[in-house]
């Protein structure tokens, strides 16, 4: 679902800054916030799972105050509905537009809807979803990795609750309720029930934090090992101690609505991050050697006259060649198989030159021009492949290709993938300004078209400048013409060799006789 706005980031808690393992919600590298859901997704009435509300817009037959129809013989006193007005013949028949809606009536449907709300399955995550209005319409959403240090859970709960509720204040609409999801797979020797029991204090702390802001938690679910448990329902008949199996993928109402709307789930968060994680093992060692060699050769090149411009041009030419190579070879199969094919299309030396060249801001901005059309897909594959090559001590160099990957995803309306890529970029370099700005723009639901127009204008200016430079270089390469060359007259005629007998070589004096030289030789002047 396309995000539309982002709740403001909460401030960093000073009490939690001493722990290195703390996942600070104010850090965008590990904190994702999402705007309101599309209007096609609605939740059921606030409260425990149950039948649809009397005024359910999807199923009006459940309404208790709906008058009986005029053909109902068992109710002679039923009021007759008013006769609709008669339009003139030929007048257009118009009806008020209706908004498609999906009503979720049970905890199982809520659990199944979570990947469609985020665009991926959130591994090891806390997810809070705001509900607005009488019918519990989906609103803002925030996600954070579950801290491993349990002493940080109270601070994390307070900041997440404040973040989601304060976003409602900005829109002049406080949430009517909040849904809490705790998603984590069992560790070695654990079961799903063990995960549920271990995370119960976190769920309770989240409910307390939201209640302190006068916003109730209507449902808190733990999703683990293909099952879900409710922390709010005490009835073992509907919420057994061993959990309830999740519905089969693609069989729920939300899955049908998502398929109809063209939405897709891009796998789990771990799978998406694995496509951006640097390689390890012997291949990583070979890549580090190539990076070291490229870095050693780059310094002398930069010290030459116009060295920066030359390196920038060479980097962009190489990137363009790689994009054409990737475009001509489109792999198939699983994500892992496609990534392996992409890795085979680029050598360690080429990857090293591109990674180091993209550290220049101007070069990176020019590379961002490959953002739409037929160049977008191969460019995204190239940036991902380069991010996987930033191994060893070059991990921070991945910020540039990761940010470019996030920009291409956002430009092609893939918000979930953009958040993951930009989050990875900020995790390796929290001060990378371009990633910070893009991450904020994606979460705010801004339109990328103004930035695309700016980059298109930048490309046109760069092409015009390159054409002007090429024309100037061509003109400078032509041989210069001497001032006296090309004039008519005797100076322009070819000179004859001495002793020539041609008429033009003769000269006479005023008496018409040939003049002789000093030695009497009449053949010389």
- The CATH number for 256's domain is 3.40.140
212 lies in some domain: yes
Are 130 and 117 in contact, with CB atoms under 8 Å apart?
A: no
**Cα(108)–Cα(471) distance, integer angstroms:** 68
Q: In 3D, which of 140, 224, 141, 222 has the Cα closest to residue 181?
A: 222
Confidence at residue 457, expressed as pLDDT on a 0 to 100 scale: 81
Confidence at residue 431, expressed as pLDDT on a 0 to 100 scale: 94
Q: Which of 236, 265, 294 is where one domain is finished?
A: 265
Confidence at residue 402, expressed as pLDDT on a 0 to 100 scale: 97
Q: What average pLDDT does range 305-332 have in this prediction? A: 91
My answer on whether 118 and 180 are in the same domain is yes
* Number of other residues whose CB lies within 10 A of the CB of residue 284: 17
Q: Domain total for the chain? A: 2
Confidence at residue 301, expressed as pLDDT on a 0 to 100 scale: 87
Q: Which residue has the higher pLDDT, 150 or 500?
A: 150
Q: How confident is the model at residue 469 (pLDDT cuts 50, 70, 90)?
A: low
My answer on whether 378 and 392 are in the same domain is yes
**Cα(262)–Cα(10) distance, integer angstroms:** 34
Are 206 and 158 in contact, with CB atoms under 8 Å apart?
A: no
Burial class (CB in 10 A: 0-12, 13-18, 19+), 306: exposed
**Strands (DSSP E) along 236-335, which ranges?**
244-245
My answer on whether 190 and 315 are in the same domain is no
My answer on whether 341 and 416 are in the same domain is yes
For 94-121, b where at least 16 C-beta lie within 10 A, e where not — what string? eeeeeeeebbbbbbbbbbbbbbbbbbbb
Confidence at residue 445, expressed as pLDDT on a 0 to 100 scale: 84
Confidence at residue 478, expressed as pLDDT on a 0 to 100 scale: 67
80 lies in some domain: no
355 lies in some domain: yes
363 pLDDT higher than 90: yes
Q: Which of 248, 265, 282 is where one domain is finished?
A: 265
Answer whether 0.85 is exceeded by the pTM: no
Confidence at residue 73, expressed as pLDDT on a 0 to 100 scale: 37
Percentage of the chain lying above the pLDDT 70 cut:
67
My answer on whether 243 and 321 are in the same domain is no
216 lies in some domain: yes
For 46-72, b where at least 16 C-beta lie within 10 A, e where not — what string? bebbeebbeebebeeeeeeeeeeeeee
491 lies in some domain: no
Q: Which of 265, 298, 318 is where one domain is finished?
A: 265
My answer on whether 309 and 213 are in the same domain is no
Domain region containing 138: 107-265
My answer on whether 111 and 198 are in the same domain is yes
123 lies in some domain: yes
Confidence at residue 516, expressed as pLDDT on a 0 to 100 scale: 47
Confidence at residue 57, expressed as pLDDT on a 0 to 100 scale: 34
Residues 6+ apart with CB under 8 A from 496: 502, 504, 505
My answer on whether 301 and 422 are in the same domain is yes
Q: How confident is the model at residue 136 (pLDDT cuts 50, 70, 90)?
A: confident
145 pLDDT higher than 80: yes
Are 169 and 140 in contact, with CB atoms under 8 Å apart?
A: no
Confidence at residue 86, expressed as pLDDT on a 0 to 100 scale: 45
Confidence at residue 54, expressed as pLDDT on a 0 to 100 scale: 34
My answer on whether 257 and 324 are in the same domain is no
My answer on whether 129 and 144 are in the same domain is yes
Q: How confident is the model at residue 473 (pLDDT cuts 50, 70, 90)?
A: low
Helix, strand, coil in percent for the chain, rounding step 5? 45, 10, 45
517 lies in some domain: no
My answer on whether 222 and 288 are in the same domain is no
Q: How confident is the model at residue 50 (pLDDT cuts 50, 70, 90)?
A: very low
Confidence at residue 168, expressed as pLDDT on a 0 to 100 scale: 60
244 lies in some domain: yes
Give me the residues paired with residue 121 across strands: 268
**Cα(252)–Cα(266) distance, integer angstroms:** 17
Task: Quote the mean pLDDT of the chain.
Answer: 76
By DSSP bridging, strand 217-224 and strand 177-183 are: parallel
**Cα(388)–Cα(407) distance, integer angstroms:** 17
Q: What is the 3-state secondary structure (H, E, C) of 455-472?
A: HHHHHHHHHHHHHHHHHH
Percentage of the chain lying above the pLDDT 90 cut:
42
My answer on whether 408 and 280 are in the same domain is yes
């Amino acid at each position: 679902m396309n995000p539309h706005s982002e709740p403001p980031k909460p401030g960093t808690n000073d009490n939690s800054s001493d722990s290195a393992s703390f996942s600070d919600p104010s850090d965008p590298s590990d904190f994702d916030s999402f705007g309101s859901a599309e209007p096609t997704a609605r939740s059921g009435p606030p409260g425990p799972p149950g039948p649809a509300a009397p005024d359910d817009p999807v199923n009006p037959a459940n309404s208790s105050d709906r008058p009986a129809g005029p053909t109902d013989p068992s109710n002679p006193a039923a009021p007759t509905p008013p006769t609709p007005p008669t339009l003139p013949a030929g007048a257009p028949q118009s009806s008020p537009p209706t908004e498609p809606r999906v009503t979720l009536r049970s905890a199982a449907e809520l659990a199944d809807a979570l990947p469609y709300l985020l665009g991926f399955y959130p591994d090891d995550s806390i997810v809070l979803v705001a509900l607005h209005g009488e019918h519990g319409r989906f609103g803002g959403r925030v996600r954070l990795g579950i801290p491993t240090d349990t002493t940080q859970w109270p601070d994390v709960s307070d900041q997440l609750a404040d973040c989601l509720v304060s976003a409602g204040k900005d829109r002049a609409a406080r949430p009517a309720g909040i849904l809490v999801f705790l998603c984590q797979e069992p560790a070695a020797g654990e079961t799903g029930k063990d995960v549920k029991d271990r995370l119960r204090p976190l769920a309770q702390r989240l409910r307390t934090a939201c209640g302190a802001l006068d916003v109730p938690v209507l449902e808190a679910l733990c999703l683990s090992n293909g099952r879900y448990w409710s922390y709010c329902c005490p009835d073992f008949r509907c919420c057994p101690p061993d959990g309830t199996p999740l519905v089969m993928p693609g069989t729920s109402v939300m899955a049908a609505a998502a398929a109809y709307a063209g939405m897709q789930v891009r796998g789990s968060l771990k799978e998406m991050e694995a496509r951006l994680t640097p390689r390890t093992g012997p291949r990583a060692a070979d890549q580090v050697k190539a990076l070291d060699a490229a870095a050693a050769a780059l310094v002398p090149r930069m010290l030459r006259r116009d060295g920066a411009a030359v390196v920038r041009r060479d980097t962009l030419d190489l990137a363009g060649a790689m994009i054409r190579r990737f475009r001509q070879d489109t792999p198939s199969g699983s994500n892992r198989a496609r990534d392996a094919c992409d890795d085979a299309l680029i050598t360690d030396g080429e990857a090293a030159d591109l990674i180091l060249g993209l550290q220049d801001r101007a070069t990176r901005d020019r590379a961002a021009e490959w953002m739409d059309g037929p160049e977008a897909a191969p460019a995204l594959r190239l940036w991902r492949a380069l991010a996987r090559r930033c191994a060893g001590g070059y991990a921070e160099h991945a910020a540039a290709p990761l940010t470019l990957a996030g920009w291409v995803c956002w430009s092609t309306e893939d918000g979930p993938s953009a958040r993951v890529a930009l989050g990875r970029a900020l995790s390796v370099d929290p001060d990378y300004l371009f990633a910070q700005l893009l991450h904020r723009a994606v979460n705010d639901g801004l339109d990328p078209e103004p930035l695309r127009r700016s980059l298109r204008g930048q490309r046109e200016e760069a092409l015009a400048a390159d054409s002007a430079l090429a024309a100037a270089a061509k003109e400078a390469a032509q041989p210069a013409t001497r001032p006296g060359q090309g004039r008519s007259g005797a100076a322009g005629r070819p000179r004859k060799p001495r002793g020539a007998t041609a008429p033009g070589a003769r000269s006479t004096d005023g008496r018409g006789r040939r003049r002789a030289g000093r030695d009497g030789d009449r053949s010389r002047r």
